[in-house]
Amino acid sequence: MKQSDRRAQAKRVILEIVRQSPGDEIEGKIRLFKAFYFAHLYYAMKSADYLTDWPIVKMPLGPGIDDFPGLIGELVAEGLLTQEQTMVGPYRTTLYRATERFPAQPLSAEAVAAIHDAVTFVADKTGAQLSDITHEFSYSWNQSELGDEQNIYQDLLSDEQREENRKRVNDIGKDIKAVWN
């Protein structure tokens, strides 16, 4: 997939997350990041495919969207989203709000359903709760270094499945080494 197509698909997913959030708005980057991450997992669970192939990277508070400022900036410039500073008590955060404009290419019904599941999951949780969940359950986050792209689909596997895959990869490596020696 071309980089421009990858960006466009990632932006459509971000926009749909905001659209499906209560009031067509979502407060805070953490909630948006986690909805993006969970939407990918829900989609993969139901369709055995990728929602996007946009990088999800390890950030201190959990999985995050690579080049988020660039993607959001483009959505704002295209008139699809607005962003404004708002307060949560004495703290500043960003409110992302969908406009009345829609992207040229809509998402599939399966993608919209996965995003709905993710938005529903994150809606009643704080950023701290969502970070705690990913810190506890995300194998890929726990195995990555800050800034690294995560292989989030490992998060859908059991420990036994990951061990079985590790053994298979080792066996393949031994077979390749035997052929080349």
Q: Which two tokens stand for residue 47?
A: 């369709």
- Over residues 56-109, the pLDDT tens digits come to 999 999 999 999 999 999 999 999 999 999 998 999 999 999 999 887 788 999
Q: Is residue 168 part of a domain?
A: no
- Over residues 111-121, the pLDDT tens digits come to 999 999 999 99
Q: Is residue 74 part of a domain?
A: yes
What's residue 51's pLDDT? 97
What's residue 165's pLDDT? 87
| Average pLDDT of the residues in 20-47 | 96
Judge whether residue 32 has pLDDT over 80.
yes
Residue with the two structure tokens 């139901």:
46
What's residue 169's pLDDT? 87
Q: Is residue 112 part of a domain?
A: yes
Judge whether residue 48 has pLDDT over 90.
no
Total count of domains within the chain = 1
What's residue 114's pLDDT? 98
Residue 142 falls in which region: left (phi positive, over 0), alpha (psi -120 to 50) or beta: alpha
Q: Is residue 171 part of a domain?
A: no
Q: Is residue 161 part of a domain?
A: no
Q: Which burial class, exposed, middle or buried, applies to 11 when counting CB atoms under 10 A from its CB (0-12, 13-18, 19+)?
A: buried
- Over residues 152-171, the pLDDT tens digits come to 999 999 999 989 988 998 88
Per-chain mean pLDDT for the chain: 94
pTM of the model: 0.92
Q: In this structure, are residues 156 and 44 in contact, taking their beta carbons and an 8 Å threshold?
A: yes
Range of the domain at 133: 3-156
Q: Is residue 81 part of a domain?
A: yes
What's residue 171's pLDDT? 87
Judge whether residue 1 has pLDDT over 80.
no
Q: Is residue 181 part of a domain?
A: no
